[in-house]
Structure 1
Amino acid sequence: MHRAPLLSLLLACAAAMLPATAVRASTPEPTLALALQGQKPLSTARLRYWGFDVYDARLFVEPGFDAQRYEAQRFGLELSYLRELKGADIAERSIDEMNDLAPIEPGQARRWLEAMGALFPDVQRGDRITGVHVPGSGARFYLNGRLLGEVADEAFSRQFFGIWLSPKTSQPRLREAMLQAPVSSPRAP
Structure 2
Amino acid sequence: MIPIRALLAGCLLLLCWSQSAPLLAAEWKSNLPQARLLGQGSFSWFGLPIYSANLWAVSGEDVFARPFALELTYQRQISRERLVQTSLEEIRRMQGAAVDESRMQRWAQEMHQAFVDVQAGRQITGVYLPGQGARFYVDGELRHSVADEPFARAFFSIWLGPQTRSPALRLALLGQDQ
The two structures have a TM-score, normalised by structure 2, of 0.80
Shift of 1:132: 0.4
Structure 1 contact 46–55 (Cα < 8 Å) conserved: yes
- What is the aligned partner in structure 2 of residue 143 from structure 1? 138
Provide the secondary structure at the position in 1 that maps to 2:40. Answer: strand
- What is the aligned partner in structure 1 of residue 35 from structure 2? 39
- What is the aligned partner in structure 1 of residue 20 from structure 2? none
- What is the aligned partner in structure 1 of residue 102 from structure 2? 107
1:96 aligns with 2:102: no
Whole-angstrom distance in 1 between the partners of 2:117 and 2:38: 26
1:113–1:137 Cα change, 3 Å? same
**CA deviation profile, 1:136-187 (whole Å, cap 9, x unmatched):** 110100011110011110000011010011111111111112222699xxxx
Provide the secondary structure at the position in 1 that maps to 2:90. Answer: helix
Shift of 1:112: 0.3
Whole-angstrom distance in 1 between the partners of 2:159 and 2:167: 8
Note the aligned Cα RMSD (angstroms).
Answer: 1.7
Q: 1:154 aligns with which of 149, 153, 157?
A: 149
Query: Structure 2 matches for 1:17-166, cutoff 5 A?
Result: 31-62=27-58, 64-66=59-61, 69-103=62-96, 104-166=99-161
Mean alpha-carbon deviation: is it higher for 160-169 or for 32-41?
Answer: 32-41
Structure 2 contact 43–51 (Cα < 8 Å) conserved: yes
Structure 2 contact 134–146 (Cα < 8 Å) conserved: yes
Q: How many residues align structurally?
A: 151
Whole-angstrom distance in 2 between the partners of 1:106 and 1:121: 23
Whole-angstrom distance in 2 between the partners of 1:74 and 1:132: 7
- Aligned residues with identical type, % of pairs: 36
Q: What letter corresponds to residue 89 of structure 1 in structure 2?
A: R
Whole-angstrom distance in 1 between the partners of 2:127 and 2:103: 21
Provide the secondary structure at the position in 2 that maps to 1:102. Answer: helix
Unaligned runs of 5+ in 1: 1-29, 184-189
Unaligned runs of 5+ in 2: 1-25
Whole-angstrom distance in 1 between the partners of 2:90 and 2:176: 25
Shift of 1:122: 0.5
Whole-angstrom distance in 2 between the partners of 1:108 and 1:102: 12
